[in-house]
Amino acid sequence: MSDPVSRRTFVRSAALGVASAAAMTTIHRSAETAPPVDPRTTMPDLDWQKAPCRFCGTGCHVLVGVKNGKVAAIAGDPEADVNKGLLCVKGYHVGLILYGADRLTKPLLRKNGQLVPIGWDEALDILADRVMKDPKGFAFYGSGQWTIPEGFAAQKFMKGGLGNNHIDPNARLCMASAVTGFLSTYGVDEPAGCYQDLDECNVLILWGNNPAEMHPVLFSRLIDRRSRGDDIRLIDICTRRTRSSLHAQNVLIFKPHTDLAIANGIAHLLLERGTYDKEFVEKHCAFRADSEPRELIGKAISFEEYRKSLEPYTPEHVQEISGVPAKDIRMLADLFGDRSLRITSLWCMGMNQHTQGTAINSLVHGIHLLSGHFGKPGDAPTSLTGQPSACGTVREVGTLSHALPGGREVANDEHRKQAEEFWKLPPGRIQKTPGYHTIKMWEQFCKPTDQGGDIHTIWVQVTNPGQTLPNLNKLFRAKEKLQDKFLVVSDVYPTATTQLADMILPSALWVEKNGMFGNSERRTQQWFRMVKPPGDARDDCWQTIALARRLYDRGHPGMKDKDGNFLFDVRDSNGKPVPVWDFKHYYDVNVDKHLFEEYRLFTRMKHKDLAPYDEYVKARGLRWPVVQQADGSWRETRFRFAEFDDPYVKKGQGIEFYHSTSKDGRAQIWFRPYVPPPESPSKDFPFWLCTGRVLEHWHTGTMTRRVPQLLRAMPEAYVEIHPDDARDAGIHNGDLVKISTRRGSIDVRAWIGGRGSPPRGLLFVPFFDENKLINLVTLEDFDFFSKQTDYKKCAASIARVTS
């Protein structure tokens, strides 16, 4: 009884109960709460326009109020289906990110260690020189913050222009395993359901996910149903308690990496008890396991083989591996075995940043398929994204080293041919061999040229690898000593990446440019430029086109299509070419619209049909496939593969997986064994180290740390540690401690009883703080299929810093 944790937990849950009860008692007032008010009517002297929020993958729409050419207010967009007028604290303050005092306003070149301002002409010449010297050793590194047209331009420039596949995004480190999970299960990427699942489920399972902080608007969308009287069972399967756990009825804390065993344990019980959905499985599913050699689509296995493989995963055995009590594994199996429930699973980085990321993704899809909790509103396995256009740009436009737009692959002859046709390129322009994925790209960049480091120049847009790459000493900092390597960074503020940049290009940010994003529920969104960028800052998309033009002028053959026209030939309504590479003329036409209409050609093959640009101007985003109706209107799709909503499902099928890897309309239920992690705590490094985000800061904090309200609320990185571990190590709250791994060490303060509560043996450090780079110590091992690294677990030690 003296266990402080259990008592504290009790006190906390009692308080929460009181709070919830309090909330419940007030529902009678709130039941009649007025619908969200349109700020355009209350603040009519501002010029209001819609835009998706700049931050996470939720894809809330905001209304941006502009006065005298500056953003002066933000409101949740009452017309937006995603957020219905509500935002989170980052969204409410998104307008402030434009006005940090240290915005980059001029191109800067490092001369003798000093950054000196130069003109755009000189900057583009320097960049063109680097490419012309050796086009094959040039690489482009972007992110899920590229707008769709920006990503499309970068993709076309690299693969269609330079014939060089070394283009990859930071999203490789963010959701590549979600992609391989979807591909190996359904044969096509991205979730089948949508956010409506959150309105209709009665059980929500969080798999290593903390939406209360990371996707707060979605979490509220679910949790607020309780105040309206809905009965929702929330189950948090996690490695540490978070703000999301506080709302959960069941918090199942597992030993890091053992989620595979939990998933297998559920599947095992569904089979053993016969509570799986026999009809669904017989009609719509097939079984798979790893092939030899390992390939993404694996090999077919029989139901019997599947059953046999699962046999060892008894609840007791799973308890032994994972630390989750056998009764809780049975409880999960009870829920999945109950067809009267609507069960939604949510996950994000916990499952994706995992050296078995593809495996755990496919296992969770598998449980939903096996139990038939699929294809009805509220019954869905749903992966969330952390960046505003991880789906729209990276996954759909395919800005990955192996991909082409619309779900195509460079290694596929037919796909390359189609891309060359759409782009009007001479046959053979696009190269067959995939380029370097993120880790390999930076490894080759940070390796001396004479030792085989064949990437000499990297151009970084819209991301901050100097803070987010794992094992920074090896994959980023090592560049500093290599004189012949050249790093170009387009950004809006000085960052950990610009610290080592040889040239910095100032970029336009968010509503300083036109843009389009694609969020986690397949929703493509559009906005217009509302304010001017500061100084000489310019659109990233323009920067790419201007470099292409510079190369065209110097006679690079790849910058012409097969008719001899410039790769980015943009014409006005009279058919006259517009010199968009000259920034004075960039907004003479809508370049976004031009690029988007070209991109649309690619989207039909995988049934990810997009509507014409102008439809997105009118809407608060549309979820693909967007299919034209007999009356000429465009209809979005909420539930894919389900006959009642998806027009591509054949009549009478009910459910049809029309991109099935087994070519028979079936989804694949995978068996994947639990395998131990590449690095586990040991005598010298006795702790697990987990990293992640916090509510107030988005990713590396380059934008949110410039917002006074957000910085003050969360000023610096810290380490969460269990009170008993702290006591054993002589660490007091607020002490400076050193966290070390085999790769390096950093000093942070200990925060006991802070934002989250790790169990004994686990440390948590957020990665937003550029002054405390936790990625100096993280692991660069990656998933075999997706090449995504694991930021959630490595072995670490902790010690008080004595001054």
Partner 1 sequence: MAKPPSFAPYPRAVNVALAMVIGVAVVGYAVGIRPAQVQAIFPALAVSPSGAIPGQTYLDWRQRRDGPNAVVRSNLGDLRAALPAVSSPVVRTPENKREALETRANIRAYEGAPPTIPHPIDEQNPGSCLACHRDGLVVEGRVARAISHATYTNCTQCHVTMEPRFEKPPAPDNAFVGYRLDRKREQAWQGAPPVIPHSVWMRDRCESCHGVAGLPGLRTTHPERGQCTQCHVSRTEYSPPWAAR
Strand 299-301's sheet: what is its strand order? 299-301, 285-289, 667-670
Site membership for partner 1, residue 802 (CB under 8 A):
no
Q: Which residue in the set 123, 127, 154, 223 belongs to the binding site for partner 1 (CB under 8 A)?
A: 223
Identity of the residue, 243 or 424, whose beta carbon is nearer to partner 1 in the bound complex: 243
Give me the count of residues in the chain.
803
Q: Which residue in the set 121, 122, 134, 224 belongs to the binding site for partner 1 (CB under 8 A)?
A: 224
Nearest Cα neighbor of 348 from 214, 254, 156, 509 is 214
Q: Tell me the closest approach of the beta carbon of residue 242 to partner 1, in angstroms.
A: 9
Q: Tell me the closest approach of the beta carbon of residue 769 to partner 1, in angstroms.
A: 11
Question: Three-state DSSP class for 382?
Answer: strand
Q: Which residue in the set 111, 278, 727, 760 belongs to the binding site for partner 1 (CB under 8 A)?
A: 727
Identity of the residue, 197 or 769, whose beta carbon is nearer to partner 1 in the bound complex: 769
Site membership for partner 1, residue 800 (CB under 8 A):
no
Q: Tell me the closest approach of the beta carbon of residue 191 to partner 1, in angstroms.
A: 23
Site membership for partner 1, residue 703 (CB under 8 A):
no
Active site residue 386: yes
Q: In which residue are the tokens 């322009």 written? A: 429
Say how far residue 651 (Cα) sits from the centre of its chain.
Answer: 34
Q: Tell me the closest approach of the beta carbon of residue 695 to partner 1, in angstroms.
A: 7
Contact 462, 167 (CB under 8 A): no
Active site residue 174: yes
Site membership for partner 1, residue 752 (CB under 8 A):
yes
End-to-end CA distance of the chain: 38
- The full DSSP string for 617-640 is HHSS-EESS-EE-TTS-EE--SST
- Distance, in Å, from the CA atom of 749 to the CA atom of 736, rounded to the nearest integer, reads 4
Q: Which residue in the set 312, 325, 723, 761 belongs to the binding site for partner 1 (CB under 8 A)?
A: 723
Q: In which residue are the tokens 């669904």 written? A: 280
Q: Which residue in the set 138, 219, 276, 423 belongs to the binding site for partner 1 (CB under 8 A)?
A: 219
Q: How far apart, in Å, are the Cα atoms of 386 and each of 57, 59, 216, 296, 428?
A: 5, 10, 12, 24, 36
Contacting range for partner 1; rule: CB under 8 A; set: 74-82, 164-172, 197-205, 627-635:
74-82
Peptide linkage before 506 cis (omega within 30 of 0)? no
Contacting range for partner 1; rule: CB under 8 A; set: 64-72, 382-390, 463-471, 773-781:
64-72
Active site residue 208: no
- Draw the binding track, 178-217, toward partner 1 (x: CB under 8 A; -: no contact): ----------------------------------x---xx
Q: Tell me the closest approach of the beta carbon of residue 518 to partner 1, in angstroms.
A: 24
Site membership for partner 1, residue 18 (CB under 8 A):
yes
- Distance, in Å, from the CA atom of 196 to the CA atom of 89, rounded to the nearest integer, reads 23
- Distance, in Å, from the CA atom of 25 to the CA atom of 404, rounded to the nearest integer, reads 54
Site membership for partner 1, residue 19 (CB under 8 A):
yes
Q: Which residue in the set 291, 484, 715, 801 belongs to the binding site for partner 1 (CB under 8 A)?
A: 715
Residues 241-270 that bind partner 1 (CB under 8 A): 241, 243, 246-247
Peptide linkage before 448 cis (omega within 30 of 0)? no
Site membership for partner 1, residue 231 (CB under 8 A):
no
Please state, as a whole number, how many other Cβ atoms lie within 10 Å of the Cβ of residue 635.
15
β strands within 133-226, DSSP E: 138-142, 167-169, 203-207
Question: Three-state DSSP class for 337?
Answer: coil
Q: Tell me the closest approach of the beta carbon of residue 531 to partner 1, in angstroms.
A: 12
Contacting range for partner 1; rule: CB under 8 A; set: 89-97, 324-332, 431-439, 631-639:
89-97
Site membership for partner 1, residue 757 (CB under 8 A):
yes
Amino acid residing at 567: L
State the pairing for strand pair 108-111/503-506.
antiparallel
Nearest Cα neighbor of 656 from 162, 155, 285, 335 is 285
Q: Which residue in the set 146, 254, 586, 751 belongs to the binding site for partner 1 (CB under 8 A)?
A: 751
Contacting range for partner 1; rule: CB under 8 A; set: 37-45, 52-60, 472-480, 503-511:
37-45
Identity of the residue, 576 or 712, whose beta carbon is nearer to partner 1 in the bound complex: 712
Q: Tell me the closest approach of the beta carbon of residue 5 to partner 1, in angstroms.
A: 8
Tokens found for residue 340: 């009267």
Q: Tell me the closest approach of the beta carbon of residue 25 to partner 1, in angstroms.
A: 8
Contact 234, 247 (CB under 8 A): yes
Nearest Cα neighbor of 225 from 378, 365, 340 is 378
- Draw the binding track, 97-136, toward partner 1 (x: CB under 8 A; -: no contact): -xxxxx----------------------------------
Active site residue 214: no
Question: Which of 57, 59, 60, 90 is the catalytic position?
Answer: 90
Contact 460, 488 (CB under 8 A): yes
Contact 213, 243 (CB under 8 A): yes
Strand partners, 109: 116, 503
Q: Which residue in the set 732, 760, 799, 801 belongs to the binding site for partner 1 (CB under 8 A)?
A: 732
Active site residue 299: no
Site membership for partner 1, residue 517 (CB under 8 A):
no
* Catalytically annotated residues: 90, 174-175, 349, 386-387
